[in-house]
Amino acid sequence: MATGGDRDSIGYFYKVSANEGQDISEQQWTIQRKVIQRDANDHPILDANGKIVYLEQDGIDGRGLILQKLEMVREWLQTNFNIDIEDLRREVQQRQWVTDANGNYVVGANGRYINKLTAPLDTDPTKTLMEALLDEVNQYKSLQTTE
């Protein structure tokens, strides 16, 4: 039996299509929901290779449920904290992804956005931001006295 064949698992998967310079909010999102096919005894059905068989349709509008929950969060943040979720998302994305001079997200050679934490630094291309931050932490620790 394949790993996980004895578990009840439902997963949400998404595909993203983006064009170079396209804002993340303008991308095309497709949310797909997979459910394990089960027999009359509620056991997972496996194919000839021992892999789990997934149903294409589960009768539940997973995308609709997610959008409904997102709308609830949007209203709650706006009502209780006066926070616009779109502004918050944009701020987080601008801190995470490398942007060009015009504020457009930069796409790497692999066709994906470049993450600021793992991209080479402009000041030292041999290091990433994570490595530079780790160096600073280690330098700080070395300056501390031990008792």
Written as one string, the DSSP assignment of 94-122 is HHHB-B-TTSPBPB-TTSSBPBTTTSBPS
For residues 99-103, give the mean pLDDT: 88
Phi and psi (nearest 5°) for 25? -70, -15
For residues 32-39, give the mean pLDDT: 73
d(CA 44, CA 10): 12
Mean pLDDT of the chain: 79
- Domain extent listing, the chain: 10-116
Which tokens in the block code for residue 56?
Answer: 């294409």
pLDDT of 54 strictly over 50: yes
For residues 125-133, give the mean pLDDT: 92
In tens, the pLDDT along 56-86 reads 654 566 677 788 889 999 999 999 999 999 9
| pLDDT value of residue 1 | 46
pLDDT of 33 strictly over 80: no
- Asked if 6 and 44 count as a contact pair (C-beta separation under 8 A), the reply is yes
d(CA 118, CA 81): 32
